[in-house]
Amino acid sequence: MEYHSHAVVTERKVTLLEHGQASELTDYLANEVRVALVYNGISHTVMLASPENLEEFAVGFTLSERIVSHINEIKGVELEFTPEGILIQVEITQRCFMELKQQRRNMAGRTGCGLCGVAQLEEAVKPVMRVDSDIRFDIQHLQNALEHIKSNQHHFKLTGATHAAMGLNLEGQITAAYEDIGRHIALDKLIGAFSLRQVERPVAVLLTSRASFEMVQKAASANIQILFAMSAVTSLALELAEKSNITLIGFCRNGRATLYTHGYRLLGQNTARLAKAI
């Protein structure tokens, strides 16, 4: 559901400066919209996002941030479009809502104490969740996904400004792809999509961005066992992937990839030997 005031892409006339010459052309900009997540009538957070697939985003965020532990604890999602942005009203079970309120009270109660910064850091690092699947993926099939990335990034082709999170099957085919200006939000949309449809989760997820700590944390919450990233892997992401039993691979481009953790899930190209060294 979209309104013209919340289109995903905006078309603008701009001036190109090139080799000392100026010319007019049409450019396409990725829209950033304020999106407020409201749980049982109480505002929780405001984020900047691309204004599409917002129901999937709300569900994925609610699950990946562990506000609920199962999609059945989400009772409804409603979108309200306003001139200032988009309100997403999420209704969750009373038990989950009480736990969320208690968490917010704990944070507020720490304000002013000498340890409040430490407490907030502790809140940011959720308990480690270990994925429970030992599926095997032939690393040579990754090239199949890499060759079809562009055809699954419709907004990126226009704007060059969006990230994507893509679900892969065992053959490396892209079964679902979600874009957003925010890489975390793109992953939330993918998580929300397969959770809403109650279909089998992807065998692996390919990110067009780097793999940071938060991305690995969200993957663990969604029981995603293999995480490919086209860009770099951060140190905390590696540490969490190791603890979460996630196979983490970075710099996935042009037939190359860097394996960081739990290589036993990968088949082909002597990965068994590499896995033992990691």
Q: Which of 96, 113, 116, 252 is catalytic?
A: 113
Q: Is 113 a catalytic residue?
A: yes
User: Residue 15 and residue 182: Cα distance in Å, rounded?
Assistant: 27
Q: Which 3 state secondary structure label does DSSP give 166? A: strand
- Classify burial at 24, counting beta carbons within 10 Å of its beta carbon; exposed 0-12, middle 13-18, buried 19 or more: exposed
Q: Give me the helices (H) in the chain, please.
A: 54-64, 94-109, 116-124, 142-147, 154-159, 183-196, 213-221, 235-244, 271-277
DSSP state, 110?
T
Beta bridge partners of 86: 35, 81
Half-sphere exposure of 166 (CA within 13 A, CB side): 28
Catalytic residues: 113
